[in-house]
Amino acid sequence: MMQITDLNKEQQMVPLFRLGFRPFFLAGAVFSVIAMLLWLMLYRGVLNFQPLGGGYTKLINYLLIFNG
C-alpha cells in the first residue's frame, strides 16, 4: 500500500486522488446509476432499442426454446 509520508504534499493533493482505487470506485458508482436509469427507461418503453432490427431477441428466443 502506498503511504504518503510528507504531510504538506498530502494536504495539497485532491482527496479523491490520494489513493489510486478511489477514482475507479467513483466511476463504478456513476456507471451503475446510468445503467439502472437506462434499464428503467427501456423497461417502461420510454426508449425503443432493438439491435439488429429486433432480430436479436428473436434469435435468443429461438436458442432458448430449441437448444435449451
Q: Tell me the domain boundaries of the chain.
A: 7-66
* pTM summary value: 0.56
Residue 10 near residue 18 (C-beta atoms within 8 A): yes
Q: Is 23 within 8 Å of 17 (Cβ atoms)?
A: yes
pLDDT (tens digit per residue) in 30-67 = 999 999 999 899 889 898 877 667 677 778 888 889 98
C-alpha cell at position 53: 432490427
Residue 11: pLDDT band with limits 50, 70, 90:
confident
d(CA 25, CA 27): 5
**pLDDT value of position 5:** 67
Q: How confident is the model at residue 3 (pLDDT cuts 50, 70, 90)?
A: low
